[in-house]
Chain A
Amino acid sequence: MPAFAGMTGWGRILKILYFAWLREKIGKSEEDLAVPESVRTVAGLMDWLAARGAGYGAAFADRGCVRCAVDQEFVAVDAPVAGALEVAFFPPVTGG
């Protein structure tokens, strides 16, 4: 957590990763973003990201097809992002 966290509305640097078609729609596999503190949950983060551009909007258009992990653990969209270092977005898994 950066030293300035909590002192400004832009104090949180989050590493955000995208996999599969989310990566392709957004055009990058990961980025470090200063996320406003008003963003409190995974759902809030999706709303905030979706407004960043057309690719993001397309990636998050169908939320029912997007899954999330916070610090490499699967979570539901109402999970908090406070204190997280790494948030990943991806489609339902298709391994095996």
Chain B
Amino acid sequence: MRRVLVQREDFEPGAEIARLGDGAAGGIASFVGIVRVGSDPARRVAALNLEHYPGMTEKALERIAAEAEARWALTGCTIIHRIGRLLPGENIVFVGAASAHRAAALEGCGFLIDWLKTGAPFWKAEEFEDGGREWVADNK
């Protein structure tokens, strides 16, 4: 089962994990990315604005999900990435990978979230509490 979504709406991690447990899975690994206020106490993040490349982003996510499914024999794979204006504490991204065994699920999940950071056409701008706004250049 593959589930790939780019959406403004929030998601429910528990429900997404439950969806991956379809009987074929022996284990499910998941990752939830959350907006944080940042590491600089003098310049706290008030919000993130996330944009994507409609069409290309969805295609790229489908392709990488298919690659992960094949490489780790996943029984299920979910990628949900939010766009729009998100506040600290809000969910940004969900990745879930289910497989017969734990190593494959954990590795598949790790691979997907690493790839989302470096290979998926999304861009983040930070709004700061001081009123400033900057595009994120260094994706950690």
Contact = CB atoms under 8 A, between A and B. Distances in A.
Tier of interface size on chain A:
10 to 19
Contacts of B81: 95-96
A8 interface: no
Interface residues of B, number: 26
A19 B51 contact: yes
Contact of A93 (B92, B93, B119): B119
Interface in B50-80: 50-53, 55-56, 59
Interface in A49-92: 65, 69, 72-73, 88, 90-92
A20 interface: yes
Contacts of A65: 137
Contact of A20 (B92, B118, B125, B139): B125
A96 B123 contact: no
A25 to B, nearest CB: 11
Given A20-B123, A20-B125, A93 B137 contact: no
Given A19-B51, A21-B135, A93 B118 contact: yes
B53 A92 contact: no
Given A21-B135, A94-B137, 12 more contacts: A17-B53, A19-B51, A19-B53, A91-B135, A93-B119, A94-B135, A94-B139, A95-B50, A95-B116, A95-B124, A95-B139, A96-B139
Closest 5 CB pairs of A and B: A95-B122, A72-B56, A96-B117, A20-B123, A96-B116
9 contacts: A17-B53, A20-B135, A69-B121, A88-B56, A90-B121, A93-B119, A94-B135, A96-B92, A96-B139
